[in-house]
């Protein structure tokens, strides 16, 4: 069991001395700490015990990409102590309440950023997390999403004994292909995991801040679909988004497939009621 101590902090900060630290919320797989040095400067440290460098490198890369269009915590450094990985970020005083209209505009601004080669994906796969992301570049979003997102999750659920829906799945995939013939996908920078736990607001200004990205370039409707699964986004958020990038006709039908994906992710990670939730979503899609 990992426990933060002075030896670990000494290797992270080297010449700087930490006066105080306390553990704070940091997600389901990381440990996170708020720290203060002897000069009173604050930091936010994330640690993933017994991991690999690719994990926090992916997050750091994502924050840097998002920073082109959004406020994010500044990456100060990252590294490892033994087998334990760490990421040092700017400390931000935050609140859960702020300007949701501005949050929508911020996500829309992120989606205005295009892939460097006009294709969907990323220049590396990300397999260090609990759900592998196969990001090989593709020139077709429909094929990318089916083959490198949905099919990967389907195989994981089969391997875990959580799958029994091939007929419903195959019909849903064909329906997605038909719907996408009437929608033009553009390879936009995606947050990649944009649920309500992955944004906050600066306490002083109420301005939106994006955190914990899992970036790649895809259809912007993917991020919108994720926002609709667990709530936490007000109508003002969607109004703000559409003030910059209006939704395309037929979006509601397409969002069902991104909701399905996110429920399959949670069935893989947490099992339980999420298994029944993704199966209900499959049935709902096929009944439309």
Residues recognised as catalytic = 193
Tell me how far apart the alpha carbons of residues 52 and 85 are, in angstroms, rounded to a whole number: 7
Strand-strand pairing, 208-210 and 199-202: antiparallel
Tell me how far apart the alpha carbons of residues 146 and 125 are, in angstroms, rounded to a whole number: 16
Tell me how far apart the alpha carbons of residues 175 and 283 are, in angstroms, rounded to a whole number: 12
Tell me how far apart the alpha carbons of residues 216 and 159 are, in angstroms, rounded to a whole number: 26
Residue 138 buriedness (CB in 10 A; 0-12 / 13-18 / 19+): middle
Helix, strand, or coil (residue 71): coil
Length of the chain in terms of residues written = 288
DSSP notation for 82-121: TTEEEEEEE---EES-S-HHHHHHHHHHHHT-B-TTS-BB
3-class SS letters over 267-288: HHHHCCHHHHHHHHHHHHHHHC
């Amino acid at each position: 069991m990992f426990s933060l101590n002075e030896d670990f902090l000494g290797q992270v900060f080297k010449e700087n001395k930490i006066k105080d630290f306390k553990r704070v919320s940091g997600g389901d797989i990381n440990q996170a700490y708020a720290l203060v040095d002897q000069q009173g400067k604050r930091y936010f440290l994330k640690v993933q015990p017994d991991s690999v460098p690719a994990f926090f490198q992916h997050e750091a890369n994502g924050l840097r990409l998002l920073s082109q269009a959004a406020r994010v915590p500044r990456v100060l450094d990252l590294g490892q102590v033994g087998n334990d990985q760490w990421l040092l970020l700017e400390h931000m005083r935050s609140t859960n309440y702020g300007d949701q209209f501005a949050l929508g505009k911020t996500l829309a601004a992120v989606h205005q950023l295009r892939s460097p080669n006009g294709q969907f994906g990323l220049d590396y796969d990300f397999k260090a997390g609990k759900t592998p992301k196969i990001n090989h570049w593709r020139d077709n979003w429909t094929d990318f999403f089916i083959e490198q997102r949905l099919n990967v999750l389907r195989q994981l659920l089969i391997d875990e004994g959580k799958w029994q829906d091939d007929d419903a799945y195959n019909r849903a995939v064909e329906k997605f292909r038909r719907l996408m013939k009437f929608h033009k996908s553009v390879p936009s920078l995606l947050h990649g995991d944009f649920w309500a736990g992955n944004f906050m607001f600066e306490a002083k200004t109420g301005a939106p801040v994006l955190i914990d990205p899992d970036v790649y370039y895809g259809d912007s409707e993917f991020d919108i679909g994720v926002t609709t699964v667990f709530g936490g986004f007000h109508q003002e958020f969607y109004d703000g988004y559409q003030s910059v990038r209006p939704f395309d006709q037929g979006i509601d039908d397409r969002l069902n497939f991104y909701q399905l994906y996110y429920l399959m992710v949670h069935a893989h990670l947490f099992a339980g009621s999420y298994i029944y939730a993704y199966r209900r979503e499959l049935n709902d899609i096929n009944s439309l």
